[in-house]
Amino acid sequence: MTEVNIENLTKIYGHAVKAVDGISMRIANGEFISLLGPSGCGKTTTLKMIAGFEEVTAGAIRFDGQDVAHTPAEKRDIGMVFQNYALFPHMTVAQNLAFGLEMRKIAKPEMQGRIAKVLEMVQLTGYDGRYPNQLSGGQQQRVALARALVIEPRILLLDEPLANLDAKLREEMRVFIRELQKRVGITTVYVTHDQSEAMSMSDRVVVMFGGRIAQIGAPDDIYDRPTSMEVAQFVGQVNVIRGQALEAAGAGRLHVSTVLGQVDVEASESFRPGTALTLTLRPEALTLAPGGGVGAQGQVIGRYYSGALIDYTVSLASGENLHVQTFPNIRFVEGDAVSVAAPAQAFWLMGPAQ
């Protein structure tokens, strides 16, 4: 069980390409943390530096206080799951699992016990003798997970492990990995570009752009209280509306006038009345009612049905377009007059308008 501290970690390729630009974070013992960002944001490079596959240009990586930034990968005692699983094709499942134990000079009887235990954990008991190419993608994924866990590493690193699975299996594996991680209680770093994966699995999410950390926080923090427009847009759909500051509404709150009416929102700084502001609204926080009801009036101009939800595009009388996501119990068609409303807590004040 290990606490990981990353301090000013930097990776520069060649002379000037900063893949990772001085990031710091503390990962608590047993915590599941996701590095989330678009490709090229430095998340995989960060993971590789933690694993020891990429040399560190500057900064420290501490496992329980001990700096491992320049320790070779094989001495770091990590378990890693690769995007393509990286199972040894010439070895059976049991031999794949035994490899790390052999490197640790574990005695045969204990080895067999641990392999049996971990196979049961990933629900692959009886698959010992299979070769990787005799397994389905999901099974290979679970063998890769078992191989990383059987050595009882200090930390578990996963590099986009679900990227090669089909959508349904991916959902199942999210739950599976998270449950397993909780049961084992291992400190875990998970790299993904899929925001819903990061949200649903992690204790905390680290959003990265251009080699820097944009925001660290619990999934709902990131989703509901993004610190920048980039983060807000990366972790989900978002409506951006303009507002105008009115007077303060008590400590840390502000009255704002918007196209959806006057609301009072959380405000970390104070704004002079009259300041133009940018606010965000998640599409699923908005509600639709037949025209003439409470809220802003508008017309449905787009409708996308996806089974569980319907996405509407509503053109407001004031000229702005809003995305609204509703359950399919209330249905409108294109051209319908609707009224759009949102509860006060759905508004998030991003800052002064640019």
Partner 1 sequence: MTATSRSSGKLLLIAPAAVLLGVFLVLPYLNIIVMSFRVPGQGTPYGEGFTLGNYARFFADPFYLQQVANTLGIGLLVTSLSLAIGFPVAWQLARGDMRFRGLAYGLVLSPLLVGIVIRSYGWTILLGNNGLINRSLNSLGVIEGPLPLMYNTLGIVIALVHVFLPFMILPVMAAIQSVDPSLEAAARSLGASRATAFRRIILPLCMPGIQAGCILVFVLSLSAYVTPSLIGGLRVKTMAVTVVDALIDTFQWPWGSALALMLAATGAICVLIFARLTRMTWKAPRP
Burial of 168 (0-12, 13-18, 19+ CB in 10 A): exposed
Q: Which of 8, 24, 66, 104 binds partner 1 (CB under 8 A)?
A: 104
- With CB under 8 A as the contact rule, which of the stretches 18-26, 131-139, 224-232, 333-341 interacts with partner 1? 131-139
Least distance in angstroms from the C-beta of 41 to partner 1: 20
Residue 158 pairs with which residues in a beta bridge?
Answer: 81, 190
By CB under 8 A, is residue 72 in contact with partner 1?
A: yes
Q: Per CB under 8 A, which of residues 145..164 are in contact with partner 1?
A: 147-148, 151, 157
CA–CA distances in Å: residue 32 to residues 150, 192, 219? 18, 13, 11
Does 165 sit near partner 1 (CB under 8 A)? no
Tokens of 307: 């089974």
Let me know how long the chain is: 354
Which residues 6+ apart lie within 8 Å of 268 measured at CB? 252
Q: Does residue 100 belong to the site contacting partner 1 (CB under 8 A)?
A: yes
Report which residue type is found at 209: F
The single residue among 28, 58, 88, 343 that binds partner 1, judged by CB under 8 A, is 88
User: Which of 40, 62, 67, 131 forms a contact with partner 1 (CB under 8 A)?
Assistant: 131
Output phi, psi for 260, to 5 deg. Answer: -95, 15
Q: Does 70 bind partner 1 (CB under 8 A)?
A: no
Cα separations (Å) of 248 from 136, 256, 260, 270, 279?
Answer: 59, 9, 19, 7, 16
78 binds partner 1 (CB under 8 A): yes
Number of residues that bind partner 1 (CB under 8 A): 32
Which stretch, 49-57, 165-173, 185-193, 269-277, contacts partner 1 (CB under 8 A)?
A: 49-57
- Shortest approach of partner 1 to residue 53 CB, angstroms? 5
Torsion angles phi and psi, residue 285, rounded to 5 = -85, -15
Residue numbers of the site for partner 1 (CB under 8 A)?
51-53, 72-75, 77-80, 82-84, 86-91, 99-100, 103-104, 131-134, 147-148, 151, 157
